[in-house]
Structure 1
Amino acid sequence: MAAREMIKVTAGLAGLVVGLAGCAGGGDGATAEGASRQGGTLRVVGSSDVEHLDPASVASVGAYGLVRTFARTLFGNRASNDFQETVPVRPDVAERIPTRENGDIGKDRRTYTVRLRDGVRWNTNPPRPVTAEDFVRGFERLCNPASPSAAKGYFVSTLRGMDAFCRGYGSVNAKDARAIAAYQRDHGFEGVRAENERTLVFRLKRPASDFLNLLALPVTAAAPQEYDRYVPDSAEFRQHTVSDGPYQITDYKPGISYLLTHNPVWQAGSDPLRERHVAKIQITLGQDSPETVQQQIEQGTADLAWDQPVPTSAIPRLRDDPRFAIRETPNNSPYLVFNTRSPRNRGALGDRAVRQALEYAVDRSALIKIVGGPSVARPLHTVIPPGNSGYAAVDHYPTPGESGDPAKCRELLGKTGRSGLSLKFPYRTNSVHKLIAQSIAQNLDACGVETELTPDSGGSFYSSTLSTPARAREGKWDIAAPGWVPDWYGNNGRSIIQPLFDGRAYGPGSTNYGGYDNPQVNALIDAALTAPDAQRAAGYWQQADQKIMEDAAIVPLLDRAQTTYRSSRVHGAFFLPTTAGYDLTRVFIA
């Protein structure tokens, strides 16, 4: 019965838009005559650099939005201010959507044939076509030992032979670009092959109803042969990105700025998802204050925020401003993750009873005020947020008025015999993350737990602090408040549970930051992946969610919408939830 009711809640996503939105607002900013204008410089201002610039390694919404401008995938999603229109998978470099009817999906649903469209070219000298072999290289790079993709688990569990390929790749010298290139040249795997220059064939371990969603992920972008010259995502690589999209990175100063200009060989007729209007995109980093960013946009010295939401204090006065919008991005953002591998406090966070006690500490009502009130966020008590496959409304650790229960927290901690806990708590410096960390620290203090707050800026929060197992094992951090926006919407159960909680995927670059590993959850993941249909898969995802919450692997905090604001110059502003921002390729300047 629970599974049936849960399916009813998540079927489609039609009910989603009524959840948070007190203000949809914002429109698309089209001019009255509806004509887009060419030229000008779009000025984007924000805080931190992306954690990875290499398309194979990207793992954050900001990086997803950036690589969309210069790295194309077989399939993708179209930006829209109607959430439902952003959900369907659409062709990008692929000519068409594979189906059993058109013969591109085999009768056993384990073979997919994808044909590439004509006219897609690299901005090399001389320019050359993007080939099927470039896409094969992209998939092989997911397992590179220098900067492995956090999303590789999706494909290792889906594509034939990829698991063995990745295991072998792990023994290659991560600092030797030639050795890395040689491994890829001399090895391959059955799961993805180039039949000819314009035809790819994928072979799956078992049918996967979400496989086309996987092929729309930014990490599956084609990779040119030039990438074999560099250690993946190294400083040298970042200065030599190659483009097959509408823009190219012309100048990159790490942690300071990006300048994007036109890719001269891109053709609008070969790209059904992107456009190109502004002559340049200037991204300026280093501004940690949302208030300052907002001030610049309102004064007209900047056009869009890079990684800063609209300041909470500004929201009431902006509600009727057509340049302001609250956009749906159903997510678990932020959530509190426990480093279960930390040796500090005599390994206390490895004790489920300790984590269960700390579940009662957090005052979610205070966090909602920090991010902008109930029109922007609602309290979350499950791993899977509403509007995602496998969601069911359950609160395992209820507190009065969502305000936390420090007395119960103290009582349960006392029963564990682990008093006097002291937790290292790194936090992101952009947006309101410092205020969120300070609020949680106060909650823990009321529970008798000390915290050591440390700012973590420059893009290192995800790229090294949380995703480096050695740091976790050394106790460099104990708790943190990352966020998770699903990699896709619709049939997306695995886009939350698998990357965050599959203990078998724990390792360098993993998004299972706390090192959580429960064989029962791993088995439920496998059951969901092999389920005969999406509905039965959703039932397994919900069971996994329940088990993870019983283990108190994380403290879900908020399902938070994205607040956006644009300057008066900006038109053609269309939102893409998986990037938590507007599609930069469609914006034009009036």
Structure 2
Amino acid sequence: MDLSTYSISSLSRRGFMLGVGATTAVAALSACGANERSAQIAGSATPTKGGMMTVLTSSTDMNWDPGRSQGMAVTSLALVHRRLTSWQIVSGKEVKVVPDLATDTGKASDGGKTWTFTLKDDLVAEDGSPITSTQIRHGVERTFTASLAGGLGYHKTLLAGTSGYTGPYQGKHLTSIETPDDKTIVFHLKAPFGDWPWIVSMPAFAPVPLGDNPTTYGRKPVASGPYRVAEYKQGVAATLKRNPKWTASSDEVRTALPDTIVFSLGQDSSVVAQRLISDSGNDRNAFGAEMVPPAHVLQVTSNPQAKSRLAVGSAGPLQYLAINVERVKDVTVRQAIAYAVDRKAATIALGGEIGASPATTYITPGIPGRQDYNLYPESTAKAQKILQGKTVGQLVLLVSNDEEMLALAQAVQQALQKVNISVKINPVESETWIEKTTQSDGSEYDLTIASWNPDYPSANANLQPLFASSEIGSGGFNLSRYHNAEVDRMLTEVAALPMNEAKEKWAKIDRRIAQDVPVVPLVYRRNAFLHGSGVSGFFVNPFPAYPNYLVVGVQK
């Protein structure tokens, strides 16, 4: 099977960007099922209906076009746009894929190459028009238009017959998407892909009415979710009001509690932290879209009242040391590096237990099928024994010139010094780092520090982007330049399986890759978010490790 079929991560770098630093994270949010919402939101009063909720964000612009979005299935965009499927996120439980506009999570045929979805009855958009399969097909097809580049694009390489396609605006349609009637949509893939139910939870699978203007739709979209964009002032605020055409009975992931949701734009993260710590006036019914800046974490945790309003995930994005296997070829040297790395020091570098927890697996916590293990527990003695008689020249550690990445690089440097491996840290601007690690021949680094948060809740989204040989260079994120034919075959075979069958097999692939040590897990970033005292239903799970806009309520 052609491995390029699964070269899907190069179309989206969102997984990388989420983990780079505490102040650069975007709001990726979570939802839980309607029948379990109130009872299973831990540590929070039962949300009530009504009132105005404010989201304080450093973003100066918000585009509501699903074709351009890199948000998860449960981001702020999901307040306005529904998709074929969504994610059910219950506090303390693994994520589940659930129906959204569709009646189920899809029916596979043709060995997993064909997926059929049926829409629920009586779905109506904000403008009063029925939501149809043709609108969903149009939503997908328009993402191939050059002016709508930049959104999550996994479907672009998975769908058959996309070569040379440039969108529907000249009347051309993809032959791989069929709409035999208004309620049925059929997708034909290049190869079997068991995670397709996750893929159709992405923004591209939201309905968009035919006749839209792609240059202006992001300002005045037609809502299918519980809220409509009532007002937008660039750089100031985006105001969402209720969409009267939405029905709660058809939607199992959105509670739609507040009457109004205001995104207050262009807010300085430090000022946001101080406002939420003070917890006065309208800020009692507000929360921050970005993580609490590291400089303010101690201030929050030393204030009992503020600390009670701090939601911290037990784990989150993986931050790791990638070893360039084309330059550090001896697997025993890579094993020694893995034993020598001090995860406690890495945790301290990110602020201690409030900032991170030690990482030992490539699959991140909260992803279905993950199994916990540690092939290389910290041991300076084991590392030194492995290195006896070996000569390891100075290793160049390329790192983005970011406070957190530099702190991790220094922790790695100090740990390797203890086993007589010299490390030279080479900090560069983030754009330069991306170019040298993802687009060049890899000749300028032996080691690099990176971060990964998968775009959807599957181990495939952890492993394929980081370790498939098809992801070396050309914008791919295989930073260790790892190429193993056996692993490529395993990734392809398991990707074709139904999700339930694939879960345990992903864990085996995780361990198999770890034997070759292309990457040393360092920490799982613990994301911390602060909210006002009037906000309820606010929690952070290991995945997606961001707060849950879709079930949050406020006091009236």
Q: Name the TM tier (shorter chain).
A: 0.7 to 0.9
Q: Which moved more, 1:362-371 or 1:106-115?
A: 106-115
How much is the aligned-residue C-alpha RMSD, in angstroms? Answer: 4.6
**Deviation readout 1:55-111 (Å, 9 max, x if unpaired):** 4565566x952322233211112454x333x633332112x2268xxxx66697765
Q: Secondary structure at the match of 2:493?
A: helix
Q: Is the 8 A contact 1:468 1:507 kept in 2?
A: yes
Contact 1:502 1:522 (C-alpha < 8 Å) held by counterparts:
yes
Show structure 2 runs of 5+ residues with no match.
1-39
Q: Give the whole-Å Cα distance in 2 for the aligned partners of 1:522 and 1:569.
A: 50
Matched, 1:308 2:317: no
Task: Give the 5 Å matches for 1:98-137.
Answer: 112-117=115-120, 120=123, 128-137=129-138
Supply the distance in 2 between the matched residues of 1:413 and 1:545 (Cα, whole angstroms): 30
Q: TM-score, normalised by structure 1?
A: 0.69
Aligned residue number for residue 83 of structure 1: 92
Residue 451, structure 1, aligned to residue 458, structure 2 = no
Counterpart position of 2:347: 368
Counterparts of 1:146-545 in structure 2, within 5 Å, are 147=149, 152=154, 156=157, 162-165=159-162, 167-169=163-165, 179-181=166-168, 185-190=171-176, 192-203=177-188, 210-225=195-210, 229-230=214-215, 243-245=223-225, 246-248=227-229, 250-251=231-232, 253=234, 259-262=238-241, 264=243, 266-269=245-248, 270-274=250-254, 275-285=256-266, 287=268, 289=270, 293-300=272-279, 302=283, 303-309=286-292, 311=294, 312-313=297-298, 314-315=300-301, 318=304, 322-328=308-314, 331-337=316-322, 348=327, 358-360=337-339, 362-371=341-350, 373-374=352-353, 377-385=356-364, 388-389=367-368, 391-400=370-379, 408=384, 411=387, 415-416=391-392, 418-419=393-394, 421-428=395-402, 435-440=407-412, 442-443=414-415, 447-454=421-428, 456=430, 465=434, 469-470=438-439, 479-485=448-454, 487-488=456-457, 492-504=458-470, 510-512=476-478, 516-531=482-497, 534-535=500-501, 537-545=502-510
The 8 Å contact of residues 75 and 91 in structure 1, kept in 2 or not, is answered as yes
For residue 273 of structure 1, what is the amino acid of its counterpart? V
Residue 380 of structure 1: how far off its partner (Å)? 1.8
Give yes or no for contact 2:89–2:96 (8 Å, CA) kept in 1: no
Q: How far did 1:366 drift?
A: 2.0
- Equivalent position amino acid for 1:583 in 2: N
**Which residue in the other structure is 2:548 paired with?**
583
CA distance in 2, matches of 1:249, 1:396: 53
Give me the TM-score of the superposition, normalised by structure 2. 0.72
- Compared CA separation, residues 259 and 577, structure 1 to 2 (3 A): farther
Change (3 A) 1:501 1:134: farther
For residue 481 of structure 1, give the secondary structure of its aligned residue in structure 2: strand
Which of 515, 518, 523 is 1:550 aligned to?
515
Determine the C-alpha separation between the residues in 2 that align with 1:318 and 1:147.
46
Deviation at 1:297, TM superposition (A): 1.0
Question: Which amino acid counterpart does residue 260 of structure 2 have in structure 1?
Answer: A
CA distance in 1, matches of 2:266, 2:386: 42
Aligned-pair CA distance for 1:523: 0.4
Deviates most, 381-390 or 404-413: 404-413
Pair 76,223 (structure 1): closer, same or farther in 2 beyond 3 Å: same
- Where does residue 43 of structure 2 map in the other structure? 27
- Write the mapping of 1:57-76 to structure 2, written as runs, cut at 5 A: 58-59=69-70, 65-76=75-86
Q: Distance in 1 between matches of 2:343 and 2:450?
A: 13
Deviation at 1:448, TM superposition (A): 1.8
> Does the aligned pair in 2 maintain the 1:65–1:581 contact within 8 Å?
no
Q: Which amino acid aligns with 1:415?
A: T
Which residue matches 2:534?
A: 569
CA shift, 1:300, in A, is 2.4
Structure 1 residue 264: deviation in Å?
Answer: 4.7
Counterpart Cα distance in 1 of 2:266 and 2:178: 40
Find the aligned partners of 1:48 and 1:333 in 2 and give their Cα distance: 28
How far apart, in 1, do the equivalents of 2:309 and 2:67 lie? 34
One-letter amino acid of the counterpart of residue 138, structure 2: R
Check whether the contact 1:25–1:326 (CA below 8 A) recurs between aligned residues. no
Work out the CA distance in 2 between the residues paired with 1:572 and 1:477.
45
% of aligned pairs identical? Answer: 21
Structure 1 contact 426–477 (Cα < 8 Å) conserved: no
Structure 2 CA distance, aligned partners of 1:476 and 1:182? 45
In structure 2, do the counterparts of structure 1 residues 182 and 532 end up closer, same or farther at CA, with 3 Å as the change threshold? closer
Runs of 5+ unmatched residues, structure 1:
1-23, 170-178, 231-235, 341-346
Q: How many equivalent residue pairs?
A: 503
Distance 1:213 1:144 in 2: 23
